[in-house]
């Protein structure tokens, strides 16, 4: 029989390239559910990212400052091994739409097969955030569209600088 650990540590993994208000919503809700939440950025050299892991870490640190039980880290290798190393018993993931479900189910079942003692917990994205993705935000701002309210304001500034060459403010 499994018992509840004295302190429940959850890992919220992802690319976060860059963080959106959808991620932030999940971080806020996750921080209220678990004793400690580690937002873990995947270090994946193969995936072409707009921001380096260091830049993404800096942006995440900026937005999680107000949550005392949230930390930012990065990892490579298997997520479940990283979670076990950090003493975590939960993987936190968000689901926006049915289209997310298949991929998330596959990952959750594979992760359970690898380490059954680690549970994946899904939170449904808030309705205001269910259409936001880092990929779409980058595409829209790169084509001159308005993304205000979809990412934290200073992240919008970083995006404008990187994609449109605007000076930082």
Residues assigned a catalytic role: 23, 47, 96, 134
Stretch that binds ligand PNS, among 10-18, 27-35, 51-59, 143-151 (CB under 6 A): 10-18
Range 21-80, binding ligand PNS (CB under 6 A): 42, 78-79
Range 61-67 contact pairs with CB under 8 angstroms and sequence separation of 24 or more: 62/152, 62/154, 63/19, 63/24, 63/27, 63/152, 63/155, 64/27, 64/39, 67/27, 67/28, 67/31, 67/37
Provide, rounded to whole angstroms, the least separation between the CB of residue 93 and ligand PNS. 7
Residue from 9, 10, 11, 14 that binds ligand PNS (CB under 6 A)?
14
The stretch near ligand PNS (CB under 6 A) out of 24-32, 63-71, 105-113, 144-152 is 105-113
Phi-psi region of 163 (alpha: psi -120 to 50; beta: other; left: phi over 0): alpha
Q: Contact with ligand PNS (CB under 6 A): which of 10, 13, 26, 34?
A: 13
User: Should residue 97 be labelled a site residue for ligand PNS when binding is judged by CB under 6 A?
Assistant: no
Comparing CB distances to ligand PNS, the nearer of 3 and 99 is: 99
Rounded to whole angstroms, how far apart are CA atoms 165 and 95?
A: 33
Considering Cα of 32, then 33, then 38, then 40, what sign does the dihedral take?
negative
Which residues are near ligand PNS by CB under 6 A? 13-15, 42, 78-79, 107, 110-111
């Amino acid at each position: 029989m499994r018992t509840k650990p004295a302190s429940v540590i959850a890992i919220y993994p992802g690319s976060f390239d860059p963080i959106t208000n959808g991620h932030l919503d999940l971080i806020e809700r996750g921080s209220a559910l678990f004793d400690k939440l580690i937002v873990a950025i995947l270090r994946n050299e193969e995936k072409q990212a707009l921001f380096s892991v260091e830049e993404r870490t800096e942006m995440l640190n900026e937005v999680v400052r107000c949550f005392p039980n949230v930390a930012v880290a990065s990892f490579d290798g298997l997520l479940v091994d990283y979670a076990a190393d950090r003493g975590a018993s939960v993987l936190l993931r968000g689901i926006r739409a049915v289209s997310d479900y298949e991929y998330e189910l596959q990952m959750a079942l594979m992760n359970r097969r690898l380490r059954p003692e680690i549970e994946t917990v899904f939170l449904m994205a808030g309705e205001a955030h269910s259409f936001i993705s880092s990929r779409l935000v980058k595409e829209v701002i790169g084509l001159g569209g308005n993304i205000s309210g979809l990412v934290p304001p200073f992240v919008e500034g970083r995006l404008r600088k990187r994609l449109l060459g605007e000076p930082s403010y």
